[in-house]
Amino acid sequence: MLASAFAVGACVAVGLYFSTRAVHREMEIARLKSDFVAAVSHDFRTPLASFRQLSELLLDDRVASDGDRKEYYRRMYRESGRLQRLVEELLDFARIDAGAREYRLECVDPTPIVRSVAAEFTAERSDRSITVDVEVQGAVPNVRVDREAFARALWNLLDNAAKYSPGRNRVRVSTRASDGRVFFSVSDDGIGVSRERHQDIFEKFVRVTSSAVPAVAGTGLGLAIVKHVVDGHGGRVTLVSAPGHGSTFTIELPAASLS
Ligand code: ADP
């Protein structure tokens, strides 16, 4: 009798424990989603406001010089690029979340892709004079990638490297091969990531706020997309980082000849 009462009590306790945990998890996801909606709205509002303001100045001919006019066009070009990237990221994420993202793999030399992403990234940020140092160590074999997805993964890592390195204007991307694997590392000397967050920052919507970069824009999707791309290519992504000591994110892919 006593034993069966004890068993019932234990079952109730275990049930309560799991349902409380499920409720907490649901609440956490709801909070992350609401932060996400706020972040996306903010990310849209800022470039749109600046776009509107600049086009108004141009329309009303309230421009002091040809130099200013050119600068306004340049800023509009930059802001529209940001918006386009944001929309593409959201669409990409929606496909990933629905399990409908497929990768079209081609055998390619990755070095020109790395160089062109770095060049495009620098061009888009000419105002903040971010320099991307590209280093190719030795001969790098071909890899089988979906060009667009691979380029987006690199871009996201570069974007983070720049965003989370306040006061710095250099980031590095290096490429090397070893034992049938090809490594693409993006390094910065920024705020770094504490050990206990090395895993969960790759989950969707997760953002870590820091007083060192209080107003940095973001959706919490960048690394989730990187991870999905890398997993979808039979690779892995690793992180070496510590607070105040910068970060190195490395994408590791199988070389094409051995894959
Ligand atoms: P977002 O940048 O939009 O917040 P991500 O998924 O790209 O989303 O990154 C998740 C979190 O990981 C960021 O909020 C940030 O705290 C941390 N993080 C990513 N890259 C870096 C980096 N290079 N240095 C420091 N922290 C980083």
Above 90 in pLDDT, residue 14? no
Greater confidence, 129 or 184? Answer: 184
Burial class (CB in 10 A: 0-12, 13-18, 19+), 221: buried
Q: Which atom of ligand 1 is nearest to the CA of 204?
A: 6
pLDDT tens-digit series, residues 63-120: 999 999 999 998 898 889 889 989 999 999 999 989 999 999 999 999 999 999 999 9
Residue nearest to atom 12 of ligand 1 (CA): 201
Amino acid at position 140, single letter: V
**pLDDT tens string 215-244:** 788 889 999 999 999 999 999 999 999 999
Dist CA 100 CA 87 (whole Å): 17
The verdict on the CB of residue 193 being under 6 Å from ligand 1 is yes
Per-residue pLDDT tens digits for 22-51: 888 888 888 888 888 888 888 888 889 999
The pLDDT confidence band at residue 201, using thresholds 50, 70 and 90, is very high
For residues 65 and 80, what is the distance between their CA atoms, to the nearest angstrom?
23
pLDDT recorded at residue 259: 44
